[in-house]
Copies of this chain bind each other. A is one copy, B any other.
Amino acid sequence: MDKEQDKKAYAHAEKAYMHGTMFPYIKVGMQKVNLTPTVNIVNGEKVATPNAPVYIYDTSGPFSDPDIEIDLKKGLPRMRESWITGRGDVEQLPSITSEYGKMRRDDKSLNHLRFEHIALPYRAKAGKAITQMAYAKAGIVTPEMEYVAIRENMNCKELGIETHITPEFVRDEIAAGRAVLPANINHPESEPMIIGRNFLVKINTNIGNSATTSSIDEEVEKAVWSCKWGGDTLMDLSTGANIHETREWIIRNCPVPVGTVPIYQALEKVNGKVEDLSWEIYKDTLIEQCEQGVDYFTIHAGIRRQNVHLADKRLCGIVSRGGSIMSKWCLMHDKESFLYEHFNDICDILAQYDVAISLGDGLRPGCIQDANDEAQFAELDTMGELVLRAWDKNVQAFIEGPGHVPLHKIKENMERQISHCHNAPFYTLGPLVTDIAPGYDHITSAIGAAQIGWLGTAMLCYVTPKEHLGLPNKEDVRVGVITYKIAAHAADLAKGHPGAQIRDNALSKARYEFRWRDQFHLSLDPDRALEYFNEGRHTDGEYCTMCGPNFCAMKLSRDLKNVEGKE
């Protein structure tokens, strides 16, 4: 990684920490943007009025802290480990327990690929309910819950803004299933965050190699990169060789929750033969990944044998990889899906590690024509049934959603999800509001994402400009993340999240006062803003080459005050 480049990228802000009250050892990292003062001319003299610093929600973890030395080979500090062990309800296993994990561990030919400092996994002690949901239902506020309360409120405390987001509120939302705090006990490097419609809208980024592209290095670099720009969770969708080892590297260096789609790896294990998939292989894969520290699994258990044919009428059939795999399995065996059949078993496993379930929408529409059809909604109904079963086992759960949906059909998606899935958080891919712009699908989907986020979707899965065309490179990841930060923030403003508008106001004030650097430092992508500004060969002073001095509205507008002063 280019360390100089990374340092420069964080230079606009300083790392600051806010501390817990219930749990004073909690340190919530923020980006603190210090601003220059506003300078006015009063009676011919310059008078400077300070501008309060702005705290920005920070997903970059230790990577933006100059006091923490980063060594990817050792992984990030295990911040949450003492919180987890301190509760006394988990035990460290003497060995990993998945067959596949053991096989990879014992394969000496993989030594050169392996992350060296693998810790032994934790698991719930027999009979203990150790998920955040279990604690919440028992009335317990965990450090994780206070952490997210502090994190969500950002500038509120400093500026005296009222907020409903207390640690107890966080607890109650998790207990009710309206929010998920993904926190595998085997991913103590992860900084707690929350997914729920009464919180900031989150974004997920996807990384992952396919058969022939990318190396482990590249994937880890992309993971760090996406956290730097603002990804709240990270899905590793790798499907190539060495996904077990790649995943270890990513989790050990990832400050945000990591999600996967275990059926992808299961399919690799049977050499791509869908018919050879079985519950046993899948189960072993779940355990393997639970013990590595994956925080949530996308599980396409909503696909039922009886509903597969509903996609026949479609223009684009089934466009979810997991959905098409499970549909094919059901048809080839003429049986109910083993994910549906074994859903209770799945929950029993996940509850032991506090891994959350993201119910995958295998029948999501892949084009405008197929939006809101019978296949999609039949699956949503099944997911509503499954989410109750997950909650019964104290497993945190959320629901994945489309896809491709025109603007006027988005609302029905959200309303139906809320009612049929009992307020479980919704996690959508866009949706794309038109099919006609390959190469720009970060934009077609951000339009839908902002809309559905405003209506209540808790997390948005990002889309890069390469969607439908190829795998994203680093620049695509950056553009995808920023685009989705825009959609999420637009939704936060529209929902009236406490303090969300502080950053907009600070930036706009800087703009109006020609404090260019402050404007850039407050923006989602300071480097890009500065780059474009510099291209313009701007003159200094209270206007720029965009309009020239005679036509700068803001300059004229500020002059008005002087005109009025004369009256």
State the A residues within 8 Å of B (CB).
Answer: 210-213, 239-240, 264, 267-268, 272, 274, 308-309, 311-312, 315-321, 323-325, 327-328, 331-332, 334, 366-369, 404, 406-408, 433-440, 442-444, 446-447, 450-451, 454, 465-466, 468-471, 482-483, 485-487, 489-491, 493-496, 501, 503-505, 507-509, 511-512, 519-520, 522-525, 528-529, 531-533, 535-536, 538, 544-554, 556-561, 563-564, 567
Contact A528 B440 (CB under 8 A): yes
Chain B residues, CB < 8 A from A212? 545, 548
Residues in chain B near residue A274, CB distance under 8 A: 556
Cβ distance A520 to chain B, nearest Cβ, rounded Å: 7
With contacts A367-B508, A406-B490 taken as known, whether A211 is within 8 angstroms of B435 at the C-beta atoms is no
Return chain B residues, CB-CB under 8 Å to A495. 408
* Chain B residues in 8 Å Cβ range of A327: 556-557, 560
Residues of B within 8 A of A491 (CB): 407
Q: Which residues of the partner chain B approach A443 to less than 8 Å between Cβ atoms?
A: 442-443, 446, 483, 486
CB distance B482 to A437 under 8 Å?
A: yes
Residue of B nearest to A485 (CB): B437
Is B490 a contact partner of A447 (Cβ separation < 8 A)? yes
Supplied contacts A319-B557, A436-B523, A440-B482, 15 more A-B pairs, CB within 8 Å: A211-B548, A211-B549, A264-B551, A268-B550, A308-B560, A316-B554, A366-B554, A367-B508, A407-B450, A435-B507, A435-B508, A440-B486, A443-B446, A447-B450, A471-B536
Residues in B whose Cβ lies below 8 Å from that of A408 = 454, 493-496
Q: Report A507 CB to chain B, min CB distance, Å.
A: 5
Judging by beta carbons under 8 Å apart, are B436 and A213 in contact? no
The interface residues of chain B lying within 8 Å CB-to-CB of A558 are 317
Q: Least Cβ distance of A432 to chain B in Å?
A: 9
Cβ-defined partner of A407 (8 Å) among B451, B536, B553, B561: B451
State the Cβ distance, A434 to closest chain B Cβ, in Å.
5
Residues of B within 8 A of A435 (CB): 504-505, 507-508, 511
B436 & A522 in contact (Cβ 8 Å cutoff): yes
Interface SS, A side: helix
- Asked whether, in the complex, the Cβ of B213 is within 8 Å of the Cβ of A545, the reply is yes
The distance in angstroms between the C-alpha atoms of A294 and B342, with both chains bound, is 70
**Contact assessment for B532 and A487 in the assembled complex, using a CB-CB cutoff below 8 Å:** no
B318, A367: Cβ atoms closer than 8 Å = no
A280–chain B nearest beta-carbon distance, Å: 20
A211 / chain B contacts, CB cutoff of 8 Å: 545, 548-550
Partner of A557, one of B311, B450, B544, B551: B311
Partner of A508, one of B315, B324, B482, B509: B315
A509: B residues at CB distance < 8 A? 315-316
Contacts of A334 in B (CB 8 A): 567
Complex Cα–Cα for A470 and B367 (A): 37
**Which residues from chain B contact A556 at a C-beta distance below 8 Å?**
274, 318, 321, 324-325, 327-328
Contact with A319, one of B471, B550, B554, B561 (Cβ below 8 angstroms): B554
Residues of B within 8 A of A496 (CB): 408
Q: How far is the CA of A532 from the CA of B492 in the complex (A)?
A: 32
Give A449's nearest chain B residue, CB to CB. Answer: B447
Known A-B contacts A407-B450, A491-B407, A557-B319; the reply to A507 vs B471 at CB < 8 A is no
Q: Give chain B nearest CB distance to A393 CB in angstroms.
A: 30
What is the CA–CA distance of A369 and B193 in the complex, to the nearest angstrom?
Answer: 28
Residue contact A551 to B210, C-beta cutoff 8 Å: yes
B469 touches A536 (CB 8 A): yes
30 A-B residue pairs with CB within 8 Å: A210-B546, A210-B548, A213-B545, A240-B548, A267-B550, A309-B564, A316-B509, A317-B554, A319-B557, A324-B560, A328-B560, A334-B567, A366-B512, A406-B490, A407-B450, A407-B454, A407-B493, A407-B494, A408-B454, A433-B490, A436-B503, A436-B524, A437-B524, A438-B520, A438-B529, A439-B529, A440-B524, A443-B446, A444-B490, A447-B490
Task: Tell me which of B434, B468, B501, B522 contacts A368 (CB under 8 A).
Answer: B501
B321–A504 CB distance below 8 A: no
Considering only CB atoms, which chain B residue lies closest to A268 in the complex?
B550
Rounded to whole angstroms, the CA-CA distance of A483 and B447 in the bound complex is 11
> Contacts A316-B512, A406-B494 hold; do A538 and B434 have CB atoms under 8 A apart?
no
Contact A545 B210 (CB under 8 A): yes
* Residue numbers in B under 8 Å from A328 (CB-CB): 556, 559-560, 563
* A534 CB, nearest partner CB in chain B, Å: 9
* Complex contact A550–B407 (CB within 8 A): no
Query: Does B512 contact A436, Cβ atoms closer than 8 Å?
Result: no
Q: Which of the residues B317, B367, B469 comes within 8 Å of A529, measured between beta carbons?
A: B469
Q: Provide the bound-state CA to CA distance between A272 and B321, in Å.
A: 62
Q: Are A320 and B535 in contact (CB under 8 A)?
A: no
Q: Tell me if A553 and B324 are in contact (CB < 8 A).
A: yes
Bound complex: CA A522 to CA B437 (Å): 9
Q: Write out the residue numbers on chain B whose beta carbons fall within 8 Å of the beta carbon of A524.
A: 436-437, 440
Check if A318 sits within 8 Å of B553, measured CB to CB: yes
Are A544 and B490 in touch, CB under 8 angstroms? Answer: no
Q: Closest approach, in angstroms, between the C-beta of A172 and any C-beta of chain B? A: 25
A487, A519, A535, A553: most-surrounded residue (chain B CB, <10 A): A553
- In Å, the complex CA distance between A398 and B374 comes to 42
User: Contact partner of A505 among B315, B447, B520, B522, CB < 8 A?
Assistant: B315
